[in-house]
């Protein structure tokens, strides 16, 4: 769930073509120097945004200058500090000139030349934008930006993004804000989470309603201690799930959705749903829920990403996609509410077992029933529904990409196996524990996930924030209060001027202090910023499920690597041979793998 609507402009693809010329970065032999690249030289006054294109022509339908012709690119002459560039766009549809009926493609090909966006090319598109517009540009994304010109400032400098976060105020903008159809569905269903009056959009908005439910939701979930408390249950769920992998070798996408579901069920209810192990019975309602969770969010994101859908939605039109979304959510709600009611009844009868009593939901019932609580039981169930809905294909998307890299880099998989094996060999019962997964105990495991995030983030732009409090200076440009600023860390991590052999999966880049020291003072230094580290965003809206999602990912990958040697077919040599589709996030299409048992 997240930066949903942005996916628009920027989707998919392998960043197979890379450029050596770059805005904002200057090369000193092979080493690009940071000093210049991210320096923020103050300007006397706010410049108008510039489109430094060599204008193939003026579009007859707008005042916008036509897009940069790459052959005549002036990028090489770019100054040291990034100059704000402006992506050519049309009113309402923004950069999606193609979406204009009948003449859109001609118009775009002739004048605008904006990259075509498909559900399968986010990585390529993001890199292409970097190539054309550098590290600081304005783009126009309906469904994300607001109004006639849905403007979004895109930046890549972590220190500049921190300034935006500091200007967010008490009610920061959330990635979920663009999910208007979800707010509509919640209202139709009488959810208090939907907010009311001036606090419209509730949990998805930026007011007291968000704060109230966010506080309730993240308690017992987000702190390191709370998340660690769920590790034994998740480890158990992962161990059972791992048994199912040979059965799902042809359909690992389903396997990881089931595994993510199983692991989160152990957190939420302290129960073992065992969907990923076909040899144990499972509840058909759980199987149906998994599919509904994946489908409902995919429809939701599709509505935010498709400019026509976004505009129709803003006009109150219920499209075919909206209707599909609504019926999927209705069914999902039916399943979830029944499950929650059954759990509450069991709680009231005092029949929960020890694992269930220690679960997130059992604690949440206690908190909801405490004297100082301002949450009623229906609100509690709404919070749980949102969490359950967000817990399946977000986590599985993250795991999928790591599996792509492990299965195409057997040496990495072997090294990870050796690291993990020494821990389980030394343990009493051979079970993975929270202690084994710390960075100091399992540095290679952490490095594998960091490298996977660099090359194949679940979405290239990790956060969209608004400077709600005041105007702000970004790279010397005054950005008016209330602007939307997107942070796009992906391209820099894939730039061969900054990262050696960026298409090679090398966890060693993140091992120990030496690589960090080497990056210091170079353009690559930004990669060590906390802002570049993971896909969960930053600030008060950072994903509340981030810690448990990381634990789940580490546990299932570790268990799989301990139990099996998993190898991609020879036709899939690296992540570049793996297609992907934008759903809730970028979902890698996992190929059929060879699964061989390890002998412990
Ligand atoms: C690897 C898996 C996951 C990724 C990559 C991910 C990523 C994100 C991101 C980027 C955001 C937007 C943050 C922002 O607005 O700045 C977000 C929000 C959210 N995530 Fe996650 N997430 C994951 C797993 C989960 C899980 C397991 C849950 C279950 C609790 C969850 C629940 C939510 C909720 C409820 C929000 C909205 C929070 C708010 O607006 O305050 N996510 N997530």
HEC profile of 290-320: HHHHHHHHHHHHHHHHCHHHHHHHHCCCCCH
Under the banding of pLDDT at 50, 70 and 90, the label for residue 307 is confident
Mean pLDDT of 24-42: 32
What is the pTM assigned to this prediction?
0.89
Q: Which is it for the CA torsion 316, 317, 322, 324, positive or negative?
A: positive
Residue bearing the CA closest to ligand 1, atom 43: 543
Q: What is the pLDDT of residue 230?
A: 98
545 Cα: distance to centroid of ligand 1 (angstroms) = 6
Band (pLDDT 50/70/90 cuts) for residue 567 is: very high
Q: What's the whole-number mean pLDDT along residues 313-340? A: 96
Residue nearest to atom 10 of ligand 1 (CA): 536
- Quick one: pLDDT at residue 196? 86
Length of the chain: 600
Q: Does residue 535's CB lie within 6 angstroms of at least one atom of ligand 1?
A: yes
CA distance 415 to 274: 29
Ligand 1 in reach of 398 Cβ (< 6 A):
yes
Residue 247 has a pLDDT of 97
What is the average per-residue pLDDT within 192-198? 90
Report helix angle 377-389 to 252-268, nearest 10: 150
CA angle 226, 232, 235 (to 5 degrees): 120
Average pLDDT over residues 407-421: 98
Q: Which ligand 1 atom sits closest to the C-alpha of 462?
A: 10
Of 472, 454, 541, 534, nearest to 178 (Cα)? 541
Would you say residue 183 has pLDDT above 50?
yes
Round to whole Å and give the CA distance between 113 and 560.
Answer: 45
| HSE, side-chain direction, 13 A CA sphere, residue 234 | 28
Dihedral of the CA atoms 201, 205, 209, 213 (nearest 10)?
A: 110
Atom of ligand 1 nearest to the CA of 264: 27
For ligand 1, atom 3, the nearest C-alpha belongs to 394
Q: Tokens at residue 440, please?
A: 């100091």
550 band by pLDDT with thresholds 50, 70 and 90: very high
- The model's confidence at residue 310, banded by pLDDT at 50, 70 and 90, is confident
The pLDDT-based confidence of 54 (bands split at 50, 70, 90) is very low
Token pair in block for residue 26: 């200057």
Residue 351 has pLDDT above 80, yes or no: yes
Name the percent of the chain lying above pLDDT 90.
81
- What H or E segment, with its residue span, contains residue 505? none
CA-proximal residue: ligand 1, atom 27 (nearest): 391
CA of 97 to the centre of ligand 1 (A): 31
Find the 326 Cα to ligand 1 centroid distance in Å. Answer: 21
| Cβ of residue 458 lying under 6 Å from some atom of ligand 1 | yes
CA of 174 to the centre of ligand 1 (A): 10
Q: Say yes or no to pLDDT of 30 above 50.
A: no
**CB of 390 shorter than 6 A to ligand 1:** yes
Q: How confident is the model at residue 80 (pLDDT cuts 50, 70, 90)?
A: very low
Paired tokens of 526: 């930004």
Q: With CA atoms as reference, report the closest residue to 322 among 342, 338, 306.
A: 306
Compute, in angstroms, the gap from residue 1 CA to the centroid of ligand 1. 6
- Rounded Cα–Cα distance for residues 59 and 340 (Å): 56
Q: What is the pLDDT of residue 192?
A: 95
- Identify the weakest region by mean pLDDT among 60-64, 145-149, 491-495: 60-64
Mutate to test the pocket of ligand 1, among 543, 552, 585, 586 (most ligand atoms within 8 A of CB): 543
Query: Among residues 569, 561, 573, which one has the least CA distance to residue 597?
Result: 561
State which ligand 1 atom lies nearest to the alpha carbon of 210.
41
d(CA 252, CA 261) in angstroms, rounded, equals: 14
Task: Tell me the CA–centroid distance for residue 2 and ligand 1, in Å.
Answer: 6
Closest CA relative to residue 303, chosen from 330, 321, 323: 321
Question: Average pLDDT, whole number, for the chain?
Answer: 88
In terms of Cα–Cα distance, which of 475, 494, 487 is closest to 6? 487
CA–centroid distance, 387 to ligand 1, in Å, is 9
194-203, 400-409, 503-512: range with lowest mean pLDDT = 194-203
Q: Is the CB of 543 under 6 A from ligand 1?
A: yes
- Protein residue whose Cα sits closest to atom 23 of ligand 1: 394
Of 478, 471, 474, residue with least CA distance to 44: 478
Percent of the chain with pLDDT over 70: 86
543 is in an annotated binding site: yes
Q: How far apart, in Å, are the Cα atoms of 205 and each of 31, 228, 318?
A: 43, 30, 21
Residue 193: CB within 6 Å of ligand 1? no
182 lines ligand 1 (CB under 6 A): no
Name the least confident of 15-29, 403-417, 480-494. Answer: 15-29
For the chain, the distance separating the N- and C-terminal CA atoms, rounded to the nearest angstrom, is: 38
Both structure tokens of 516? 């960090």
Q: If pLDDT is split at 50, 70 and 90, which confidence band does 175 have?
A: very high
Question: Dihedral of the CA atoms 543, 263, 398, 171 (nearest 10)?
Answer: -10
405-427 average pLDDT score: 97
Task: Please list the residues that pair with 50 across neighbouring strands.
Answer: 85
CA 27 to CA 20: how far, in whole Å?
A: 9
In this prediction, residues 421-448 reach a mean pLDDT of 95
d(CA 266, CA 262): 6
Asked if residue 175 has its Cβ within 6 Å of ligand 1, the reply is: yes
Q: How far is the CA of 255 from the centre of ligand 1 (A)?
A: 21
- How many DSSP H helices and E strands does the chain contain? 22, 13
What is the rounded CA–CA span in Å between residue 320 and residue 195?
26
On whether the CB atoms of residues 365 and 245 are closer than 8 A, the answer is: no
């Amino acid at each position: 769930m997240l930066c949903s609507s942005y996916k628009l402009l920027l989707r998919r693809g392998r960043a197979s073509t890379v450029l050596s010329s770059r805005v904002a970065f200057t090369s000193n032999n092979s080493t690009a120097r940071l000093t210049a690249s991210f320096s923020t030289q103050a300007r006397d006054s706010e410049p108008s945004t510039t489109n430094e294109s060599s204008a193939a022509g003026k579009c007859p339908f707008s005042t916008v200058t036509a897009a940069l012709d790459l052959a005549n690119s002036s990028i090489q002459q770019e100054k040291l500090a990034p100059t704000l560039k402006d992506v050519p766009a049309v009113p309402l549809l923004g950069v999606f000139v193609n979406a204009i009926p009948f003449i859109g493609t001609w118009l775009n090909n002739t004048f605008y030349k904006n990259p075509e966006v498909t559900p399968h090319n986010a990585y390529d598109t993001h890199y292409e934008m970097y190539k054309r517009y550098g590290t600081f540009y304005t783009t126009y994304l309906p469904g994300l930006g607001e109004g006639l010109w849905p403007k979004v400032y895109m930046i890549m400098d972590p220190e500049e993004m921190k300034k935006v976060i500091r200007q967010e105020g008490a009610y920061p903008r959330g990635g979920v804000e663009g999910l208007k159809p979800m707010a509509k569905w919640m209202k139709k269903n009488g959810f208090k989470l939907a907010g009311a009056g001036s606090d419209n959009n509730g949990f998805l908005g930026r007011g007291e309603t968000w704060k109230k439910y966010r506080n309730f939701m993240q308690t017992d979930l987000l702190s390191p201690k709370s998340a660690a408390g769920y590790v034994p249950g998740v480890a158990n769920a992962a161990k059972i799930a791992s048994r199912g992998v040979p059965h799902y070798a042809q359909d690992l996408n389903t396997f990881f959705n089931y595994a993510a579901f199983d692991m989160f069920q152990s957190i939420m209810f302290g129960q073992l749903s065992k969907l990923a192990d076909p040899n144990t019975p499972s509840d058909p309602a759980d199987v149906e829920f998994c599919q509904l969770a994946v489908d409902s969010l995919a429809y939701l994101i599709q509505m935010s990403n498709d400019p026509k859908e976004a505009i129709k939605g803003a006009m109150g039109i219920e499209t075919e996609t909206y209707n599909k979304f609504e019926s999927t959510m209705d069914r999902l709600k039916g399943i979830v509410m029944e499950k929650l009611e059954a759990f509450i009844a069991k709680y009231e009868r005092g029949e929960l077992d020890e694992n269930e009593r220690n679960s997130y939901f059992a604690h949440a019932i206690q908190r909801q029933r405490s004297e100082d609580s301002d949450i009623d039981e229906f609100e509690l169930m709404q919070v749980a529904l949102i969490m359950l809905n967000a817990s399946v294909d977000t986590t599985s998307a993250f795991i999928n990409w790591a599996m792509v890299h492990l299965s195409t880099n057997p040496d990495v998989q072997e090294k990870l196996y050796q690291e993990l094996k020494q821990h389980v060999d030394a343990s009493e019962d051979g079970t993975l524990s929270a202690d084994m997964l710390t960075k100091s105990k399992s540095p290679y495991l952490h490095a594998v996930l960091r490298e996977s995030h660099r090359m194949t983030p679940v979405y290239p732009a990790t956060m969209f924030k608004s400077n709600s409090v005041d105007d702000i200076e970004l790279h010397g440009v005054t950005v008016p209060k209330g602007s939307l600023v997107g942070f796009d860390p992906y391209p820099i991590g894939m730039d061969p001027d900054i990262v050696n052999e960026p298409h090679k999966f090398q966890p060693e880049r993140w091992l120990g202090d030496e690589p960090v020291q080497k990056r210091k003072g170079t353009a690559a230094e930004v990669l060590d910023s906390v802002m570049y580290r993971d896909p969960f965003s930053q600030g008060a809206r950072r994903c509340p499920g981030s810690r448990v999602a990381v634990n789940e990912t580490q546990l299932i990958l570790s268990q799989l690597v301990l139990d099996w040697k998993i190898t991609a077919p020879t036709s899939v040599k690296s992540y570049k041979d793996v297609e992907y589709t934008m759903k809730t996030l970028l979902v890698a299409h996992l190929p059929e793998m060879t699964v061989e048992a390890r002998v412990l």
